[in-house]
A = this chain, B = another copy of it.
């Protein structure tokens, strides 16, 4: 291949295939987002092998999900978000306990070791909010009460997932460091509450003054992007995912920035969100199909992963009415990249096997594919509230 062809070739293959599949799915009135994940499975190592997930593609995928959450944050007012805090906390807590317990129980019943079973449970805990957020934004229903509960619960869920993972890792190392785990939790909770509670106020004070003095064009976007990366970095240092920081950055700016920042953010999203979706598909792993027993286990874990979030989160939200409880339960189903990260840590610590890793990846990808059509169905009666939401956000 001639020098310099790598980047345009990778971009063309991934972006082009994703958009083609999305188009075919939308044509048949299926969620384009699922088409893009399947495009990743198709061109990835498990089927055609045209694209290997390398550092560059994973970085584009990470940028995609960061900007996706940033864009969602820009639509969410912190005050609205805090209002559903109590409901969301209950959803998050039950949505952690039930999958953790279910995963552990099933794995133990399948005669896996104690530590392996805990990792299976931990991998089933964390919701990948990117998928759900994209579907809700595409329908223009981000402002519906159930949607706000899902977003808030997903943030709390990420913090709880971090604590569960910290405990699981401690146990895998054979010593339970209660102080370290408590510190991890406190830092993550402190960061999240601090930014969610005071971020909007701070940005409302800072951005207009700063903007007033800026000489360069598109200064507001530059400030917004700097905050996005800054809070993403702080989030990682605080122990939570970078995308939580990106979401909080968006939310902090929601009441300050103008339409232009939305437009420019959309440009980055349109380019890179396909890499996030394809990236999930690329990591699909055939080792879950290695033999009948593993495959059976994978299917059982998948069913448990779906049912446990439905039941746990649905129960947590039951006081919002049955319809909303169902929406919230479904919205928390996708595990996406988060489940895989937990499994990867387990693999790196040599406490879970390759085939168990394949099972978790299978569960993560499949929950991500199952959720969008279910979510569209559950929201079929919710009217789009955002002006032009449909047009603005449906991804291709």
Assess A23 versus B225: contact at CB under 8 Å? Given A4-B236, A56-B56. Answer: no
In the complex, A20→B101 CA distance in Å?
50
In the complex, A268→B269 CA distance in Å?
9
Assess A16 versus B229: contact at CB under 8 Å? Given A56-B56, A56-B59. Answer: yes
Contact, CB under 8 Å: A2 / B237: yes
In the complex, A328→B90 CA distance in Å?
67
Contact, CB under 8 Å: A8 / B215: no
Q: How would residues 194 to 228 of chain A score, 1 for a CB under 8 Å from any chain B CB and 0 otherwise?
A: 00000000000000000000111111011001100
Contact, CB under 8 Å: B268 / A11: no
Could you tell me which residues of chain A, from 81 to 136, have a CB within 8 Å of some CB in chain B? none
In the complex, A59→B241 CA distance in Å?
24
Q: How would residues 166 to 201 of chain A score, 1 for a CB under 8 Å from any chain B CB and 0 otherwise?
A: 000000000000000000000000000000000000
In the complex, which of the residues A2, A19, A230 has the most CB atoms of chain B within 10 Å of its own CB atom?
Answer: A19
In the complex, which of the residues A9, A11, A26, A241 has the most CB atoms of chain B within 10 Å of its own CB atom?
Answer: A11
Indicate if A264 sits at the interface (CB-CB under 8 A): yes
Contact, CB under 8 Å: B266 / A217: no
Residues of B within 8 A of A27 (CB): 215
Indicate if A355 sits at the interface (CB-CB under 8 A): no
CB distance from A248 to the nearest CB of B (A): 13
Indicate if A267 sits at the interface (CB-CB under 8 A): yes
Assess A226 versus B12: contact at CB under 8 Å? Given A7-B59, A242-B4, A266-B267. Answer: yes
Contact, CB under 8 Å: B268 / A229: no
Contact, CB under 8 Å: B225 / A9: no
Assess A270 versus B233: contact at CB under 8 Å? Given A8-B242, A56-B55, A226-B15. Answer: no
Contact, CB under 8 Å: A12 / B233: yes
Indicate if A364 sits at the interface (CB-CB under 8 A): no
Contact, CB under 8 Å: B264 / A8: no
Give the oligomeric copy count.
2
Please give me the residue from chain B that is nearest to A269 by CB atom: B267
Q: Classify the interface of chain A: helix, strand, loop or mixed.
A: helix
Indicate if A308 sits at the interface (CB-CB under 8 A): no
Indicate if A331 sits at the interface (CB-CB under 8 A): no
Indicate if A386 sits at the interface (CB-CB under 8 A): no
Indicate if A239 sits at the interface (CB-CB under 8 A): yes
Name the contact of A9 in the complex, choosing from B4, B55, B233 (C-beta under 8 A). Answer: B233
Name the contact of A236 in the complex, choosing from B5, B215, B222 (C-beta under 8 A). Answer: B5
In the complex, A360→B4 CA distance in Å?
20
In the complex, A265→B267 CA distance in Å?
6
CB distance from A278 to the nearest CB of B (A): 14
Assess A15 versus B225: contact at CB under 8 Å? Given A5-B237, A236-B2, A268-B268. Answer: yes
Contact, CB under 8 Å: A216 / B264: no
Contact, CB under 8 Å: B16 / A226: yes
CB distance from A269 to the nearest CB of B (A): 8
In the complex, A182→B217 CA distance in Å?
45
Assess A19 versus B56: contact at CB under 8 Å? Given A7-B242, A268-B267. Answer: no
Contact, CB under 8 Å: A396 / B12: no
Residues of B within 8 A of A23 (CB): 214-216, 219, 222
Could you tell me which residues of chain A, from 267 to 308, have a CB within 8 Å of some CB in chain B? 267-268, 270-271
In the complex, A367→B66 CA distance in Å?
36
Assess A216 versus B12: contact at CB under 8 Å? Given A266-B267, A270-B221. Answer: no
Assess A22 versus B268: contact at CB under 8 Å? Given A12-B226, A236-B4. Answer: no
29 contacts between A and B (CB under 8 A): A2-B236, A2-B239, A3-B236, A4-B236, A4-B242, A5-B236, A5-B237, A7-B59, A8-B233, A9-B233, A11-B63, A11-B229, A16-B226, A16-B229, A19-B226, A23-B214, A23-B215, A55-B56, A138-B217, A216-B394, A217-B392, A217-B394, A218-B270, A218-B395, A218-B396, A222-B270, A222-B396, A225-B270, A267-B267
